């Protein structure tokens, strides 16, 4: 039996506590599966005396995570501090330079600095594992590294943020507006006091950047991702999607095209009969399209102490077994420069919601703006005011705004944006038009 693998854990909060509990609970099983035991030797956190879910009194304490990262007491540095800069980055760099393996759940750090850290890991022949950084318990990273290694992956997409999915699910199921459900999510601990990082789509963008690099063998390019959050999604959009046979989900999409790599995060209408449409609440879903597997869908818990701890410990066990894969599934010298495919070259159908002033010529002008850029419409639904009596063929021309929903046929995003700019400039709509992309998976 090999010597125990010695661990140093920085950050003993929700996830760190879960890691300690999991190692303690399954210590015997891990020893049998890895051929060596796991031994937590030291920890570091901001407050030594804070009440925690796991007892840390028996472990050696380090005030400075950077000192822990280079300590002779450990073989593996487990970074669960978080943050893209500061002590998290400094300590990981120090650990890699000192020849220590690193396990982290820090998606923001890797999205911003992953390439430099991966090269550092290569130079020192150590692991930099991050299964827990993407979609919690879902084995998205290992799926690319191991199960799909024989495939040419052409697309990766999915629901990667539980907060957004919870909000959209509750809006759809309970008919409540965005602000009300967001407050509920904050009260339940699903959303932060400042939810911008989640609802603005940035959390999803960090995860997508990592998956894109691994799936397509390109250098990470967070700045190339088009990001749009769910803040503008209304109950009217949710209801319209339902009537049209869709569900609205915040998706991260990475696509390999002839002109380069396209990365985007935005609300999307997906058909009700697809697996991803049924993924509700805080659950995540990652889907891969490969040339020999077709479509592979992974669904599971995307966050939380136990699911994330499970992924952290799985990375530790790989190291214990001597499995040291390339950080991004490719050797860093084999990753090719990122070539961006313009977002506006994307083609697909679109849902458009307008609040049109009910006056002569308004609808004709809108139709003309669409026709001018070659957009044909699949359907137009004019939502009558509740006061309108059934059977009436026309609305009273009182000049007030009338809700209008439109679905386009396949067209380019550039064409849609140009048409909507023209429509808004003409002054026939009360507010900026709402546009949601449709993916017919």
Angle between helices 305-320 and 27-34 (to 10 degrees): 30
313 vs 9: CA distance, rounded Å: 12
Asked if 3 contacts 36 with a C-beta cutoff of 8 angstroms, the reply is: yes
Over the Cα atoms of the chain, what is R_g? 25
Q: Please provide the DSSP assignment of 196-257 as one string.
A: HHHHTTHHHHHHHHHHHHHHHTB---GGG-EE--STT--HHHHHHHHHHTEEEEEEEEEEEE
Calculate the alpha carbon distances from 405 to 161, 241, 387, 396, 423 in Å: 28, 10, 19, 19, 14
Asked if 380 contacts 332 with a C-beta cutoff of 8 angstroms, the reply is: no
CA angle 221, 65, 126 (to 5 degrees): 55
251 vs 129: CA distance, rounded Å: 24
82: left (phi > 0), else alpha (psi -120 to 50), else beta? left
Tokens of 199: 């609802």
From the number of C-beta atoms within 10 Å of its C-beta (0-12, 13-18, 19+), residue 72 rates as: exposed
Helix, coil or strand: residue 406: strand
Half-sphere exposure of 192 (CA within 13 A, CB side): 9
Tokens of 111: 């999205």
Name residues whose C-beta falls within 8 Å of residue 425's C-beta, 6 or more positions apart in sequence: none
Could you list the active site residues?
207
Q: Which of 359, 399, 404, 397 is nearest to 383 (CA)?
A: 404
Tokens of 289: 């399209």
Ranges assigned E (strand) in 53-172: 60-62, 76-79, 101-104, 128-129, 153-159
Tokens of 222: 């967070």
């Amino acid at each position: 039996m090999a010597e125990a693998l010695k661990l140093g854990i920085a950050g003993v909060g929700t996830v760190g506590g879960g890691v300690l509990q999991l190692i303690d609970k399954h210590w015997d099983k891990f020893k049998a599966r890895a051929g060596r035991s796991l031994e937590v030797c030291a920890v570091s956190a901001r407050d030594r005396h804070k009440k925690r879910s796991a007892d840390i009194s028996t472990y050696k304490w380090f005030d400075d995570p950077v000192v822990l990262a280079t300590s002779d007491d450990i073989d593996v540095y487990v970074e669960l501090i978080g943050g893209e800069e500061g002590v998290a980055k400094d300590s990981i760099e120090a650990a890699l330079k000192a020849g220590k393996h690193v396990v982290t759940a820090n998606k923001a750090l890797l999205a911003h600095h992953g390439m430099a850290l991966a090269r550092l890991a290569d130079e020192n022949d150590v692991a930099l594992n991050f299964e827990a950084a993407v979609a919690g318990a879902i084995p998205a990273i290992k799926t690319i590294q191991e199960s799909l290694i024989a495939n040419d992956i052409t697309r990766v997409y999915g629901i990667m943020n539980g907060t957004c999915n919870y909000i959209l699910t509750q809006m759809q199921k309970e008919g409540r507006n965005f602000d009300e459900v967001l407050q509920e999510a904050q009260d339940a601990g699903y959303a932060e006091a400042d939810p911008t990082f989640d609802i603005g789509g940035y959390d999803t963008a960090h995860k997508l950047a990592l998956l894109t690099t691994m799936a397509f063998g390109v250098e990470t390019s967070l700045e190339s991702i088009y990001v749009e959050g769910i803040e503008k999604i209304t109950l009217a959009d949710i209801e319209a999607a339902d009537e049209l046979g869709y569900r609205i989900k915040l998706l991260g999409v990475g696509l390999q095209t002839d002109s380069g790599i396209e990365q985007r995060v935005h609300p999307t209408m997906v058909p009700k009969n697809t697996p991803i449409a049924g993924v509700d609440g805080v659950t995540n879903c990652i889907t891969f399209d490969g040339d020999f597997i077709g479509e592979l869908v992974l669904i599971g818990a995307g966050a939380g102490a136990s699911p994330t701890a499970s992924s952290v410990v799985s990375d530790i066990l790989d190291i214990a077994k001597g499995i040291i894969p390339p950080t991004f599934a490719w050797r860093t010298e084999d990753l090719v420069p990122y070539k961006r495919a313009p977002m506006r070259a994307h083609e697909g159908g679109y849902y458009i919601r307008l609040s049109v002033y009910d006056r002569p010529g308004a609808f004709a002008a809108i139709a003309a703006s669409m026709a001018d850029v070659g957009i044909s419409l699949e359907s137009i639904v004019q939502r009558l005011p509740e006061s309108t009596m059934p059977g009436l063929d026309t609305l009273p021309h009182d000049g007030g705004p009338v809700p209008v929903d439109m679905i386009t046929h396949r067209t380019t995003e550039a064409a849609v944006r140009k048409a909507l700019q023209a429509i808004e400039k003409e002054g026939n709509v009360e507010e900026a038009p709402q546009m949601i992309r449709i993916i017919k998976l």
